[in-house]
Amino acid sequence: MVDDEVQRSAEELRGTAAQLRQLAQQTRSAEARDGLLGLAERFERLANRIDGRNPPAGG
């Protein structure tokens, strides 16, 4: 049950990351695009930590 919730959370974070990447592709401003892509990367890393694909450094 908890594992299902964790997996759903990770999937939601990845979905948000995908949406941010789509927005970045549509954005004309390089600064805004870089910010969106950076945010998407952070969401992806958090999702990886949640589901154990990429544990935090040093632990």
Where exactly are the structural domains of the chain? 2-50
In 3-state terms the chain splits into helix, strand, coil percentages (rounded to 5) of 80, 0, 20
Q: What is the pLDDT of residue 43?
A: 97
**Between 2 and 37, whose confidence is greater?**
37
pLDDT at 5 over 90: no
pTM of this prediction?
0.81
Indicate the SS3 state at residue 51: coil
What letter represents residue 49's amino acid?
R
